[in-house]
């Protein structure tokens, strides 16, 4: 029955978009071609009465997705991180999606906890509150540990949410195939890529063990960061469908009146949240990708507390270095170097002209640097940069899109705390410090050391490599003349280089 279900779901989706006035905005955002627009209208207009009616106070696209339920809300949240796919305007609309869904009953949550953890709830918790937050995938309860009396936050997946998501994601794939069929040449649609990305995000969020692991790794990375802390994971009370964290007590970072009443320095908080984000992205390559005010609190001692680790960003070390050099080049207004970095990294095809690209980058950077400090935005810079690089043939890099989206959110948080914050002044020391540590003589020596340690593991095989080189030299192929075969020099060279690297490794160790 998968086919009929998908067709019905697709019709109802179109009807809901049409009923809430979102169809045109969605089709425009995706640059949908005429055949697809005709099909969408055919599926939407005649069946408007089948569509769900959304909250008229919300923007049209947000209203429609909220009306269709958890999977569609989560889909909208994921699309808000992909302005490269849906366009900046729709991404901004979707960014205001709020997880204000009706909670499921406390008794149901308690049964889910007992079933998942395999123990009677009173053995684990002496108190278990009504839901304090309800999201598209899970809801949170405040509880108290029976053995220690410590307050904790217990996150519980919605009952049956896995099956509901699989059903809707299957319909999304069906819709993507329809789009591929009717619009094979649409430049910005990339429907299968979008759905696969969404599917991967949701699969990760539907297993709270992965979120617990992300929280634990993030805590290990940031334990020495002054003025920042995370609630600890309670592994003994966490599983696939339940996650337990220490309770985070503090003032919401978005409540300026409460922050002022508690005598917190909002300028310092704004600068700190920006520095911390850049530090985590550059130093660790692992950052909180949902750092809005709702996921941040300020403790009584002034520490920033982060929670909700369902969306985390990953950047490999090489990409971090490239990204840092690009940022550093813009900070110094060295557009030629920024252009060269793009070519050296292979981001822009070598067939393009580096000087022309540098001039295009200058057109991006100079207007921004000419702005008042209160209007300078690193997120806007990256957005313009991606537009320019796309014109020069650079393929979209998902991890940088997520980084740019998070940068915009973090800048918004910082400016809400201090409207006069100078983004570049705050960012410069973090970027410069990373450049010194990752690009320069010390970095070269560190890279050599890492390479040596990897090659050292092959030390026991070096005699075999030399023997094979000698055998290749004494037994040339049938088409070769006696003497050294074609394989001799590479094999012997590899053995000698390997031996040298092993020696270097031993010296470094």
Examine the domain organization and report whether 267 and 384 are in the same domain: yes
Q: pLDDT tens, 3-17?
A: 667 777 777 787 788
Mapping DSSP to helix (H, G, I), strand (E, B) and coil, where does residue 312 land? Answer: strand
Active site residues: 290
Of the two residues 55 and 376, the one the predictor is more confident about is 55
pLDDT (tens digit, 9 = 90+) per residue, 348-374? 888 899 999 999 889 888 877 666 666
Q: What is the CATH number of the domain that holds 212?
A: 3.30.200
Q: Above 60 in pLDDT, residue 485?
A: no
What DSSP letter does each residue of 47-109 carry, written as one string?
Answer: GGGGSPP--TTS-HHHHHHHHH-HHHHHHHHHHTT-HHHH-HHHHHHHTT----PPPPPHHHH
Contact status, residue 191 vs residue 82, Cβ threshold 8 Å: no
User: Which of 173, 297, 298, 155 is CA-nearest to residue 239?
Assistant: 155
What's the pLDDT score for residue 462? 64
First to last CA, the chain: 63
Asked if residue 253 and residue 193 are part of one domain, the reply reads no
- pTM tops 0.85: no
Do 197 and 334 belong to one domain? Answer: no
* Residue 83 included in any domain: yes
Q: Could you tell me which residue, 388 or 446, shows the higher pLDDT? A: 388
The whole-number pLDDT of residue 456 equals 62
- Sorted by sequence, the CB contacts under 8 Å of residue 133 that are 6+ apart come out as 99, 139, 140
Ranked by mean pLDDT, which of 58-62, 226-230, 289-293, 485-489 comes out on top? 226-230
pLDDT tens per residue, range 461-473? 667 766 776 676 6
Q: Is residue 259 part of a domain?
A: yes
Considering the domain architecture, whether residues 214 and 260 belong to the same structural domain is answered as no
Contact 341, 326 (CB under 8 A): yes
List the beta bridge partners of residue 233.
245
Q: Flag whether 295 is in a domain.
A: yes
128 and 172, same domain (yes or no): no
From 421, 439, 457, the end of a domain falls on 439
504 & 453 share domain: yes
Tell me: do 279 and 423 sit in the same domain.
yes
Q: Has residue 235 got a pLDDT over 90?
A: yes
d(CA 121, CA 459) in angstroms, rounded, equals: 55
Work out the angle at residue 309's Cα, subtended by the Cα atoms of residues 231 and 387, and round it to the nearest 5 degrees: 140
231 in a domain, yes or no?
no
| Interacting residues of 268 by C-beta distance below 8 A, sequence separation 6+ | 302
297-301, 402-406, 436-440: which has the minimum mean pLDDT? 436-440
- 8-state DSSP, 246: E
- Tell me the C-alpha distance between 423 and 371, whole Å: 12
Q: Which residues 6+ apart lie within 8 Å of 444 measured at CB? A: none
Q: In this model, does residue 339 exceed pLDDT 60?
A: yes
Which residue would you say has higher pLDDT here, 238 or 377? 238
Tell whether 76 and 172 lie within a shared domain: yes
d(CA 310, CA 290): 8
The total number of structural domains that make up the chain = 4
Residue 228 lies in a domain: no
Residues 311 and 425 in one domain: yes
Whether residue 151 is predicted with pLDDT greater than 90 in this model: the reply is yes
94 and 123 assigned to the same domain: no
Q: Tell whether 41 and 174 lie within a shared domain.
A: yes
Mean pLDDT of 278-296: 90
Domain with 313, as residue range(s), is 248-439
340 and 253 housed in the same domain: yes
């Amino acid at each position: 029955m998968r086919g009929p279900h998908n067709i019905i779901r697709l019709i109802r989706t179109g009807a809901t978009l049409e009923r809430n006035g979102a169809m045109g905005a969605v089709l425009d955002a995706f640059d949908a071609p005429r055949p697809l627009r005709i099909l969408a209208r055919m599926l939407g207009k005649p069946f408007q009465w089948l569509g769900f009616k959304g909250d008229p106070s919300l923007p049209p696209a947000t209203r429609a997705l909220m009306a269709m339920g958890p999977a569609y809300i989560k889909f909208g949240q994921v699309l808000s991180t992909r302005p490269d796919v849906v366009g900046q305007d729709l991404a901004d609309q979707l960014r205001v999606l709020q997880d204000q869904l009706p909670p499921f009953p406390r008794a149901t949550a308690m049964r889910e906890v007992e079933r998942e953890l395999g123990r009677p709830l009173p053995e684990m918790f002496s108190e278990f509150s009504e839901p304090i937050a309800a999201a598209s995938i899970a809801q949170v309860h405040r509880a108290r540990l029976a053995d220690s009396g410590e307050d904790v936050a217990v996150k519980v997946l919605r009952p049956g949410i896995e099956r509901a998501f699989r059903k809707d994601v299957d319909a999304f794939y069906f819709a993507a195939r329809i789009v591929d069929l009717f619009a094979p040449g649409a430049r910005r649609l990339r429907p299968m890529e979008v759905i696969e990305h969404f599917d991967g995000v949701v699969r990760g969020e539907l297993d709270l063990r992965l979120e617990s692991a992300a929280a634990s790794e993030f805590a290990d990375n940031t334990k020495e960061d002054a003025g920042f802390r995370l609630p600890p994971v309670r592994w003994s009370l966490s599983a696939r469908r339940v996650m337990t964290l220490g309770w985070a007590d503090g003032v919401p970072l978005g409540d300026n009146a409460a922050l002022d009443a508690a005598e917190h320095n909002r300028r310092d908080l704004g600068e700190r949240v920006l520095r911390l984000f850049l530090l985590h992205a550059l130093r660790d390559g692992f950052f909180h990708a949902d750092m809005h005010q709702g996921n941040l609190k300020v403790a009584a001692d002034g520490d920033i507390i982060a929670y909700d680790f369902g969306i985390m960003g990953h950047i490999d070390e090489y990409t971090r270095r490239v990204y840092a050099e690009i940022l550093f080049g813009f900070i110094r207004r060295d557009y030629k170097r920024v252009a060269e970095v793009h070519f050296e990294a292979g981001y822009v095809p070598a067939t393009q002209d580096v000087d022309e690209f540098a001039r295009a980058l200058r057109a991006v950077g100079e207007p921004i640097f000419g702005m008042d400090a209160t209007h300078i935005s690193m997120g806007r810079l990256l957005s313009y940069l991606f537009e320019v690089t796309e014109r020069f043939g650079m393929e979209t890099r998902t991890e940088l899109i997520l980084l740019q989206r998070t940068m915009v959110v973090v800048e918004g948080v910082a400016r809400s705390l201090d409207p006069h914050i100078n983004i570049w002044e705050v960012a410069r020391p973090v970027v410069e410090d990373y450049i010194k540590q990752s690009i320069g003589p010390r970095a070269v020596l560190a890279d050599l050391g890492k390479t040596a340690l990897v090659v050292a593991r092959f030390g026991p095989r070096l005699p075999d490599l030399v023997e094979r080189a000698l055998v290749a030299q004494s037994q040339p192929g049938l088409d070769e003349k006696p003497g050294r075969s074609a394989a001799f020099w590479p094999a012997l060279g590899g053995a000698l280089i390997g031996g040298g690297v092993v020696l270097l490794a031993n010296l470094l160790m």
